[in-house]
Structure 1
Amino acid sequence: MDNNRQIEQETRQPPPSLPPNAQLPINRCNLPAVILGSLTFQEHPVALEIDGIRDFHAGLFRTLDAMEQRDERAQRFIDYMTVRFLLEELEEAGLTPGRKRKSRINANYLRMVRGWSFDSDGREGAILKRWVESRFGLLARHHAGPLLDPSGDAYHRYISEGTRGLYATNALEAQLDLLFTYCQYELTREHGENTHLKLYRGINRMDEHEILETRPCGRNRVLLNNLNSFTSNRERADEFGDYILMAQVPTSKVFFYNKLLPGMLKGEDEYVVIGGAYEVCISSI
């Protein structure tokens, strides 16, 4: 009876909320960070939309609606991005002579995604985490080191890399906005009313994520970084750590995944997921 009462009491207690130091008061999304980063959102998700993007590119999505084949839609999206952002006409996009300037304007959405896949703690990773901060209001917790101390070296390196990486680029944040919106469009077409994906993440140490609460039966409530790599293949997750973190991830929190565009990511089952508070199961290999 005592154990049953304890479990019942734990069940009735409200889940821990997103810590104040993990969120911004404003974002560019249809929900504030305190809601979209909460455990309640994980259990009862709704669609996430970056302000104005779907309406601004309505013509693209009307065209995609008429296409039955995913590969055909993917190619149309790639072509649209190329034309809309002048990715093959850099002079028209504002390129001025000089190698440094060319490097900045060449920083496009595909390069960001591939850079993340190669090293999520590199420059592209910093840019993507900064983008998540501005669009969803979820602060990064880790980038080549903990970011909890605003006066620390790791934090200053992160801010410097992200800010310099975004400066004088070819509307890079707008490219990422549209990539996320297209990803959500494709997930809705593929999964319909299914709101969650069972995904896995390999970790080497239990302290890689901030534990908000320990629950019965190996469950934990954790605070994830604002952007994270997962996989749909448990055996693949085994290759990346001694512990396996399993989560029911809302499809509305998937930023992109490898099958979204041909050849976009190296890993066959990689999903890049927006963070916040999650209830997960952690098991050893």
Structure 2
Amino acid sequence: MAACGNDQGAGEEIELVYVAWDSEIASTNVISQVLDEAGYEVVMTQVEQGPMWSSVATGDADGFVAAWLPNDMASSYEEYGDQMVELGANLEGAITGLAVPTYMEDVNSIEDITSDHIDSITGIDGGAGVMTATEQVISEYGLDVELIASSDAIMTAALGDSYENQEPIVVTAWQPHWMFNTYDLKFLEDPKGIYESEGEIRTMVREGLEDDMPEAYQILDRFYWEPEDMNEIMLEISQDDVAPEEAAANWIEKNRDKVDEWLGETE
């Protein structure tokens, strides 16, 4: 196939929605810049998990690259999945669960969590699938702890403070995430299998996008990368205080062959 060229979007506006997780900030910034390179006017809108799904289901937004499945966002998928188009995985090997610093040597399983260690689990935004799973975990494992909702940024800040002082902490966690490259952490064993152990992040778009913007649809359909790609961007943002759009641009520059495949310029 001939190269697509950079005028295929002809200035058409496309809106991508995303949740404020470091992983999805990284992926959405990357694919937005790739679509921009293809000539589209990209609008990035940060929302909570529920509106992310509902806005694409109703056609108010065009798509997202942040569907953690099959377990983490299962409830949203069940409610809205048949009202949109699923383009498959853009990343495989995703994991969710509870994590602790490795210096908590006597806590290796969720079953090991007791009030002797902590009285709360530091979570993220309340609508996230990992939070729903954690509520189930607390119930099914009979944990005498409180789940505290916050945000990705607040959770990692609390982790950093506790880590610096070698204090016990349990956080909701997922991979890919830069915190596993920054701190010595371990996922806790989950004997009941409630969390995602081998999941994927999928791309979802609104019905009709293929007809309205076929080139954008194809780019989103081709979008696929590895956990280390996402981690590279997240680390640059978190450790070097680089703006997400700059970190995404740096990654794109270093991974031109992969980006050209998404653009269809190597077919």
TM-score using structure 1 length? 0.26
- The structure with higher relative contact order (CA 8 Å, sep 6+) is 2
TM-score using structure 2 length? 0.27
